[in-house]
Structure 1
């Protein structure tokens, strides 16, 4: 009996040490932690091998509730399908899904939200909408090609409003690795103010 208790106590000590030695998830919010976990995972990370080896988490602006806004959604009727420019010769098919009007830091802002026609054929992504934007931090504190935000069709409320959380933005994969082909942010989706929220520019090693 004493031998069994000893073995059990040693096992519990080993488990305790193992759990204490486990590194906590990187990030201030659940969104940041999940994004960091994804980029740390070599099987799905866009990072180059040398950047992955030195990866200690993505850089974000300080979380700021000022950059969580209610936007008025207006559906774009009979929008034509068009080929969206990318960083390569690839031209994926998109449609303008609607317009988002909101006020941020006292400024009236407008962004066009898009729907990938390829995603419509994929049950997993058919409800995803694509919101790319640039702002006055682009090319300095944030990635020059702009940042992205995912919005779901189900996020649009019956009163045609949708919450936009600029703290939950991400960079296109091209910001980390030029082997990827990424949609270019349309010029009309530039915000004439600084969005100091969400993901920052990535410092490559």
Structure 2
């Protein structure tokens, strides 16, 4: 009888857990990956009070017009410099190249950066860092600008998907040290794609 009672209680507990487990939200696979990362205590930048009831980041609706093909002009002779961050730490970076692209009928260009430390990591040796600011900052998006992760292409073109623009970790938690977007990476337009500002 005790064994039956134990099995019954175990089954009820498992059913309750299954009902409590919520599916990961997101319109695209990338949005689901972001939400899974922010929900997981081992990978989330969120403070515990914000993560406890976290369901989803606030995203703009996916818009294919914000997926652009950029021309990459490599700048192999640029010097390393100290990129300022939100703390006293400085990140050693160099301009890897200049990205030129058309967005909604207008031409834009952005510097794309390469980090010295990441080049030593086998998983990130081809990683490129694309920070930018635009006219939505401080309104619908984080005031300090956003980032996009890229990889070094084989040729001289690269896809920029602004739907994958995300906030620096310090937008969620001040204990993080985040690179400050260089002023030259300002886009005089509204980038209404990617992650919106965080409401805590």
For normalisation by structure 2, the TM-score amounts to 0.90
In 2, Cα distance between the equivalents of 1:138 and 1:146? 6
Aligned-pair Cα RMSD in Å: 1.8
Q: What's the secondary structure of 1:167's corresponding residue?
A: helix
- Encode CA deviations 1:52-90: one digit per residue, 9 max, x unaligned: 112121000010001000100000121100000100110
Relative to its length, the structure with more strand (as a share) is 2
CA distance in 2, matches of 1:14, 1:186: 52
**2:178 equivalent among 159, 176, 182:** 182
- Cα pair distance change 1:203/1:93, threshold 3 Å: same
* Uncovered stretches (5+) of structure 1, i.e. residues with no partner: 1-6
Deviations 1:135-183 (A, max 9, x none): 1101110001110000011xx242x111110001111100000001100
Partner of 1:191: 187
The answer for unaligned runs of 5 or more in structure 2 is 1-6
Length-normalised TM-score, structure 1: 0.88
Q: CA 1:54–1:18 in 2, change beyond 3 Å: closer, same or farther?
A: closer
Give 1:105 shift.
1.1
CA–CA distance in 2 between the matches of 1:191 and 1:38? 28
How far is the alpha carbon of 1:124 from its aligned partner? 1.7
Report the CA distance between 1:39 and its aligned residue: 0.5
- 1 CA distance for matches of 2:18 and 2:178? 39
The SS at the match of 2:37 is helix
For 2:89 and 2:13, locate their aligned partners in 1 and report how far apart those are by CA, in whole Å. 52
Aligned residues: 191
State the partner residue of 1:140.
139
Shift of 1:195: 0.4
